[in-house]
Amino acid sequence: MMVQKIALMTALLLAASYECHAKPQRLICYYTNWSHARTNEHRYELEDIPGDLCTHVAYAFVGVDEATSRISSLKPEYDEDAGQNGFERFRDLKERFPHLRLIVSVGGWTHGGGAFSRMASSRAARLEFVTSVVTFLDRYRLDGLEIVWLWPGAPERDGKREDKDNFYYLVGDLRDAFRRAGKGWEVSVQVPVDRARIAVGYQQEWLCQAADYIHLAGYDLRGPWTGYADVHSVLRRRSHDVHYFATFNIEDGITSWLGKGCRADQLVLGLPLYGRSYVLKNATLATGPGAPAIGPGEQGPITNDPGLLGYFELCEMLKDHNWTYGWDEAAQAPYVYRANQWIGYESAESLTAKAQWVVGKGLGGIYAYTLDLDDYRGHCGETHGLLRSLHRELRNGSDVEVDFAIFREGGVV
């Protein structure tokens, strides 16, 4: 009888704590290793990170060493203590923001896929990598690892057929080692929403079992490489999305991962704090999303990358009143054009709308890509204005009492 009572009470307590500990939404902020190299006020350093607006911060990127298969710095003169001590200054964010969880991201676009493919293809090399990651997380007292392998199985990125299984083995090995370490470390993987890429590189059901979190890249779904002007963080299909592009959007991507056994609260949607720009083919003829384009638009003065504009750059450009504004309803994204220049981007309004969608779907949260592309100095409004709009909406979406306080108590995550 007594035992039953205790069991019942325990069950009730568990139910109650589960109830009020409903998973708070994550807002993961990306710090990039290149933004500190800018000049003057544009220099974005670790100390600029608004830790009060994020639940997690990711350090992007570190790499896989070709020769040893170990996790390694791509820029020791910045990352390590003989240089600017990036890793330790990253770790020290917790002193100012004790609730923060810190993640290291390995890979990224310029890293390429070859080193991952080779490392993942043998058990010995995987274990070498896993052991080095454990040492790394321990040394800098971090909370997890994100794998940004772009993309397993992609031949143009040095991938091979076996990557699809090997990627899953790698994630499984990491998870097992993290469990054994018993420090609450998490393994997350960045994945595409593109069904063709998913098919060649991702054992979706297994990955959903093995990884703690799945980060879906909801940006760069269209770009100057596509041949027509368009917004790039497309929420839903539009009438001009045909063939390959018909399901190449955030909603269909989320549906695909959910359909393979991922839990909704395991999926974290990546949204861009930057725009993609184009030169229109004929601005008299067509100016809407899908209008023919002949190449990337003018580069930004600070990011210097044709076809890409940080929000901090484009919001300055838009202060000039000659732009025509448009809104893509299905994509839930704004665009502007002037003469032959066309830009598709995200604004506070569109990010708010997408955050509401994320909350409505019960997803695990959002990752903001990246901090140094936002209006971080507040020339067009509040500092880190786009991030703030996400923060406002996710806070509102989760139980106010639980909110981010749960992280401060170091409780359920």
Ligand X SMILES: *[C@@H]1O[C@H](CO)[C@@H](O)[C@H](O)[C@H]1NC(C)=O
In the complex, the residues that contact ligand X under the rule CB under 6 A are: 33-34, 37, 61, 74-75, 78, 108, 110-111, 282, 284-285, 320, 322, 392, 396
Are residues 303 and 376 in contact, defined by beta-carbon separation less than 8 angstroms? no
Q: Between residues 234 and 291, which has the closer beta carbon with respect to ligand X?
A: 291
The alpha carbon of 87 is separated from its chain's Cα centroid by a whole number of angstroms, namely 20
Reply yes or no: is the peptide bond before residue 167 cis, omega within 30 of 0.
no
Using Cβ positions, the residue closest to ligand X within the complex turns out to be 75
CB of 281 to ligand X, least distance (A): 8
Identify the CA nearest to 311 among candidates 269, 368, 359. Answer: 368
Q: Between residues 74 and 258, which has the closer beta carbon with respect to ligand X?
A: 74
Tokens representing 221? 């779904």
Q: Between residues 199 and 405, which has the closer beta carbon with respect to ligand X?
A: 405
CB of 8 to ligand X, least distance (A): 36
Tokens representing 137? 């997380």
CB of 46 to ligand X, least distance (A): 13
Q: Between residues 78 and 327, which has the closer beta carbon with respect to ligand X?
A: 78
CB of 111 to ligand X, least distance (A): 5
Q: How far is CA 216 from CA 176, 292, 310, 398, in A?
A: 23, 28, 21, 20
How far apart CA 247 and CA 253 sit, in angstroms, is: 7
Secondary structure of 31-73 as H, E, C letters: EECCHHHCCHHHCCCHHHCCHHHCCEEEEEEEEECCCCCCEEC
Are residues 215 and 258 in contact, defined by beta-carbon separation less than 8 angstroms? no
CB of 66 to ligand X, least distance (A): 13
Q: Between residues 330 and 353, which has the closer beta carbon with respect to ligand X?
A: 353
CB of 276 to ligand X, least distance (A): 20
| Residue 119 CB burial class (10 angstroms; 0-12, 13-18, ≥19) | buried
| Backbone phi, psi, residue 196, to 5° | -65, -40
CB of 108 to ligand X, least distance (A): 4
Q: Between residues 228 and 257, which has the closer beta carbon with respect to ligand X?
A: 228
Beta strand 213-217 with 186-191: parallel, antiparallel or unpaired?
A: parallel
* DSSP-assigned beta bridge partners for residue 144: 103, 186
CB of 51 to ligand X, least distance (A): 21
How far apart CA 379 and CA 377 sit, in angstroms, is: 6
Q: Between residues 239 and 322, which has the closer beta carbon with respect to ligand X?
A: 322
CB of 328 to ligand X, least distance (A): 22
Q: Between residues 47 and 320, which has the closer beta carbon with respect to ligand X?
A: 320
How far apart CA 56 and CA 2 sit, in angstroms, is: 43
Q: Between residues 33 and 266, which has the closer beta carbon with respect to ligand X?
A: 33
